Chain A
Amino acid sequence: MHTLSTKATEAQEAARDTIRRHINARHAHEVIFTSGTTASINLAANSLGQLLLKNGDEVLISGMEHHANIVPWQMVCERYGAKLKVIPVTDEGELEPRRRDDATEYFTERTKVFAITHVSNTLGTINPIKELIAQARKQGIITVVDGAQAIAHLNVDVQDLGCDLYAFSGHKAYGPTGTGVLYGREELLERMPPWQGGGEMIDVVTFEKTTYAKLPFKFEAGTPHIAGIIGLGEAIRWMEDYDKAAMAAHEHKLLEHATKELLTIDGLRIIGTAKEKVGVIGFVIGGVHHYDLGTLLDQQGIAVRTGHHCTQPLMERFGVSGTTRASFACFNTVAEVDALVAGVKKGVKMLR
């Protein structure tokens, strides 16, 4: 107990409240700090697995999930004898709509958890999660949202969405790496067992038995990333200085421009043509390997990501080994999109 530590704790808790306000959670203690989306989903999967999963139960995900929203569920399914079910993806990169007459309805009476990405990092697709969550909740299914790609681009209101858990990373919200959040509805968090044990998450420890701290500390074992969390709070405050709808509109303009211009390139195919998209554009070009193109764009000072984007099942679905993906943030400009298109053209010319 000293002045500096008190100040640090206060700043950390102020960040928690900033985030609560930003995602419109009811309570600050519904905001759990983690090291990122991956850690958030692992927490969710391990704790929910212990709470809910029995032999023969089902966890439902979609075919466009990041490995971070596949592997943790696979691991707990294996542990408890549950099955991982997958909603297929259409050629456009949208969730296959449910057929009512289909025997393989996505939600069954064995479905315990529905974990879905808000926005696909590979396709850019914005999923209609509000409707899906409403449907799931009617059937008593716990809903978990991977919000990694949504947090910086959409207005996220967890009460409006109605989800039970919502995960995101600090570094995708203009904040520091190594920070992240798992939002959880209070009633559920109270029921969920802690995942990791250690300091900070306890109430009383004896060798016979330990009682756990109250929310949110029950889920925050160990010394938190205090500096990072304070940085994340500031990043969120910075974002709040701007109108998110205006940011999204700007990003959409960049997306439309890029889509139109890139499609003039011979042999270019966009992977992910959903009606509702954020500013992410992944593509393949006949006869051009994404690694080569990424290298030549890098030489021109253009940063794209190439490869499978941690979505190998989705690559398989589209029959490609990888894509080149440009993504736009609020600070990008139309001139930069033009530079991208010119850069791709130059690269293609060198490679063909």
Chain B
Amino acid sequence: MTITQAQQEVVDEFALFSDWQDRYEHLIELGKDLPLIAPEHKTDDNLVRGCQSRVWLHADVSTPLDVTDQKVIHFTADSDAMITKGIVALLVRVFNDRTPQEILGASTEFIDKIGLRAHLSPNRANGLSAMVDQMKRYALAFSSNSTKHGSWSPAFLLNSCQVRGPGLWSLAMRTVRCGQRPWAP
């Protein structure tokens, strides 16, 4: 199933609910299936900035057994708010175990289509769009990194921008400032 198909599946699933209450109850249920981030990765470094509720996101790269020349990204996450967790679960569901190229090319329009757009609008109050950006930054990082296994290291960003500093987010922002914005439309 492609990302687009997975997203369509979500849209169809949500179309079954006619009122907001059922929709949100379903979302809260989905949150319970989120592949949870391991306790050792639930650190401040992995907090997504800009969310009113806290979101932790971790990514690993692995090579599926059947396709040896391809890397896919595996996300795990958590949130302290249930609705946020549901949305995170939806995003992880469609983006999980995809190649960096697939993730970088994907849109998140399906969130609009199921009536949850407010949560992803890039404003100061909710800022879950930061979460999508973060997933794409991981994809960007992994796509440029030659390691096939294990967690990604920020070395390439350091080299390409010649800056030093902690935290993936700030590093990625520096990448943006250096003019690399592959996820821009």
Residue positions of A touching B, CB distance < 8 A: 289-292, 295-296, 298-299, 306-307, 321-322, 350-351
Contact = CB atoms under 8 A, between A and B. Distances in A.
Interface string B15-52: 00000110011001000000000000000000000001
A350 B28 contact: yes
Contacts of A291: 52-53, 81, 83-84, 126
B125 A350 contact: no
Given A291-B52, A307-B125, A322-B52, A350 B84 contact: no
5 contacts: A289-B82, A290-B52, A295-B119, A306-B125, A307-B125
B165 to A, nearest CB: 22
B82 A292 contact: yes
Q: Interface range on chain B: under 10, 10 to 19, 20 to 34, or 35 or more?
A: 10 to 19
B24 A299 contact: yes
Given A291-B83, A291-B84, A296 B52 contact: no
Contacts of A351: 28, 82
B24 A296 contact: yes
B80 interface: yes
Given A291-B53, A292-B84, A321-B80, 20 more contacts: A289-B53, A289-B80, A289-B82, A289-B84, A291-B81, A291-B83, A291-B84, A291-B126, A292-B53, A292-B82, A295-B24, A295-B118, A306-B52, A306-B125, A307-B125, A321-B54, A322-B52, A350-B21, A350-B24, A351-B82
Contacts of B54: 321
A95 B24 CA distance: 41
A292 B85 CA distance: 10
B52 A307 contact: yes
Main secondary structure of the interface of A (DSSP, over half): helix
Interface in B51-110: 52-54, 80-84
A144 to B, nearest CB: 26
Q: For B21, B53, B119, which residue has the most chain A Cβ atoms within 10 angstroms?
A: B53
Closest 10 A/B residue pairs (Cβ) = A289-B81, A291-B53, A291-B81, A299-B20, A292-B83, A291-B52, A292-B81, A307-B52, A292-B82, A295-B83
A292 to B, nearest CB: 5
Contacts of B82: 289, 292, 351
B172 to A, nearest CB: 24
Contacts of A289: 53, 80-82, 84
Contacts of B119: 295
Contacts of B118: 295, 298
Contacts of A295: 24, 83, 118-119
A307 B25 CA distance: 22
A339 to B, nearest CB: 16
Contacts of A292: 53, 81-84
Contacts of B25: 350
Nearest to B128: A291
B138 to A, nearest CB: 24
A292 B81 CA distance: 6
Nearest to B27: A295
A292 B118 CA distance: 13
B120 to A, nearest CB: 13
User: Which of B21, B81, B118 has most chain A Cβ within 10 Å?
Assistant: B81
Contacts of A307: 52, 125
Contacts of A321: 54, 80
Contacts of B52: 290-291, 306-307, 322
A350 B25 CA distance: 7
A299 B24 CA distance: 10
A289 B84 CA distance: 10
A296 B126 CA distance: 14
Nearest to B81: A289
Most B CB contacts (10 A, CB to CB) among A292, A296, A307, A321 go to A292
A322 B24 CA distance: 22
A116 to B, nearest CB: 26
Nearest to A351: B82
Nearest to B124: A307
